[in-house]
Amino acid sequence: MNKQNYTDYVAAVYRHNPQADPHTVDRLHSIAGSLHRLSEQQCNGFSNWRGDWDEAAEKRADKREERLTAEATRLAAELGAKLYVQGDPRGWPLYLFWPGDPGYDNPDSWHGEGIPPR
C-alpha cells in the first residue's frame, strides 16, 4: 500500500464524518491489515513445519477473524457507517458505506470507501 491510499481513506472518513475520532479511524486501518493477512493465510492454508494441516491454527485464525470483524463493525457504527467485509486478499478487506452512498442499502454493490490493508 502506498501512503496515498491511506491518505485517501482518511480524507474519505473525515469528508463523511468531520467529528470522527482519530483513534477509531486508525484502529479500522489496523484491523484491515490484520484481516488482510488472515485472508492471505486462509488462501495459503494452515500447515505446520512438516506440511501437515494445522487444524488448531485454523481455529485460532477463525476466532481472531470473528473478533476483528465484530470490532470493525462496532467502530464503523461509531463513525456512522455500515461495514462490508471482503475476504479476498486481492482487494481491500473492509469497505465503509455512508448514508446516501449508492451501496449503503446494498453493500454488495462495491461503491463504498475501501480501507487500505497496510
pLDDT of 68 higher than 90: yes
User: Can you list the pairs that 65-73 forms with residues at least 24 positions away whose Cβ atoms lie under 8 Å?
Assistant: 65/35, 65/38, 68/31, 68/34, 68/35, 68/38, 69/35, 71/27, 71/31, 72/28, 72/31, 72/32, 72/35
Name the residue range of residue 55's domain.
3-115
Q: How many domains does the chain have?
A: 1
Confidence of residue 25 (pLDDT cuts 50, 70, 90): very high
Average pLDDT of the chain? Answer: 86
pTM: 0.85
Exposed e or buried b for every residue in 104-113, given b needs 16+ CB within 10 A? Answer: beebeeeebb
* pLDDT for 117: 61
For the stretch 78-105, pLDDT in tens is 999 988 888 888 888 888 888 887 767 7
